[in-house]
């Protein structure tokens, strides 16, 4: 693969990657070159088409600055606190890509979760995500209320996936730690066509293994702002050495 760079008259850098007969033009701004890139291995995934948009990579974050500066196909805005309209709205207001919003399923459940899900839909969410403890009854109630996909989290191979699907879950989100590929493989064997999002781990090998097991899309956890900033500050310090 050959990369060609040249300067545009307005200081925009154009990069053209050529591989055989394929030419991919890439345009970057002088001020927007520092973004969070998802691992290239995720391109191997088939993707899930939601409302006409193909989604292969989802960035797992609620940090607005990261959400605004990444190249993932979508945002997976799930967080370990009580779901709040203000958080979901803030993420969707900033995100340039589709957002899947966490709406509870654990401590936050019942009518409250359904109301948060409806609000997320009306604000423009592409889907809502329920935590693993969510009951089948909650999934059914939510399905009757909203018109966007319900993503249910699966964290163990003993999960009764069939009841989740029958209750109205449209997408499975497999987050089973080191056992994620194993769980994905088991689900894919039983349900060849159900859309699966899965955590890919922190190495290229684990991402590829998860995709080969049957995941259609991968969630990627980016480095923290502190980690990113530490690298930037080290470069600044180098100027004085």
- Confidence at residue 230, expressed as pLDDT on a 0 to 100 scale: 80
Helix locations, 62-109, DSSP H: 64-68, 85-94
What are the pLDDT tens digits along the chain (241 aa)? 444 444 454 555 555 555 556 777 877 778 777 899 999 999 999 999 999 999 999 999 999 999 999 999 999 999 999 999 999 999 999 999 999 999 999 888 899 999 999 999 999 999 999 999 999 999 999 999 999 999 999 999 999 999 999 999 999 999 999 999 999 999 999 999 999 999 998 899 999 999 999 999 999 999 888 888 787 777 767 777 6
**Does 177 share its domain with 210?**
yes
For residue 47, give the nearest of 236, 182, 215 by alpha carbon. 215
pLDDT confidence of residue 15: 52
pLDDT of residue 224: 86
Range of the domain at 17: 1-33
pTM: 0.87
159/213 same-domain check = yes
* CATH classification of the domain holding 69: 3.20.20.70
| pLDDT for 225 | 83
Whether 11 and 68 map to the same domain: the answer is no
Query: Is 39 found in the same domain as 27?
Result: no
Q: What is the pLDDT of residue 197?
A: 98
Same domain? For 64 and 160 the reply is: yes
Structural domains in the chain (count)? 2
Task: Say whether both 209 and 90 belong to one domain.
Answer: yes
**pLDDT value at residue 216:** 98
CA distances, 136 to each of 36, 116, 123, 133 (Å):
36, 17, 25, 9
State whether 216 and 101 are in the same domain: yes
Q: What pLDDT score was predicted for residue 20? A: 59
Closest CA to 55 of 132, 126, 121: 126
Q: Would you state the pLDDT for residue 3?
A: 47
């Amino acid at each position: 693969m050959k990369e060609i760079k040249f300067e545009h008259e307005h200081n925009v850098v154009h990069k053209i990657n050529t591989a055989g007969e394929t030419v991919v033009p890439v345009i970057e701004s002088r001020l927007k070159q520092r973004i969070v890139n998802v691992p290239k291995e995720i391109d191997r995934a088939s993707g899930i088409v939601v409302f006409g948009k193909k989604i292969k990579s989802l960035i797992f974050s609620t940090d607005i600055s990261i959400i605004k500066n990444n190249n993932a196909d979508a945002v997976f805005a799930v967080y370990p606190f009580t779901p709040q309209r203000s958080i979901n709205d803030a993420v969707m207001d900033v995100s340039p890509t589709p957002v899947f919003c966490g709406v509870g399923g654990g401590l936050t459940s019942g009518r409250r979760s359904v109301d948060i899900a409806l609000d997320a839909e009306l604000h423009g969410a592409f889907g809502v995500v329920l935590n693993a403890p969510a009951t089948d009854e909650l999934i059914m109630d939510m399905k009757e209320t909203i018109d966007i996909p319900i993503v249910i989290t699966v964290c163990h191979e003993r999960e009764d996936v069939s009841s989740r699907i029958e209750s109205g879950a449209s997408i499975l989100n497999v987050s089973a730690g080191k056992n994620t590929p194993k769980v994905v493989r088991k689900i894919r064997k039983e349900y060849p066509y159900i859309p699966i999002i899965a955590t890919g781990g922190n190495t290229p090998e684990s991402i590829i293994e998860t995709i080969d097991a049957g995941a259609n899309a991968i969630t990627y956890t980016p480095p923290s702002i502190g980690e990113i900033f530490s690298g930037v500050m080290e470069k600044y310090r180098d100027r004085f050495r």
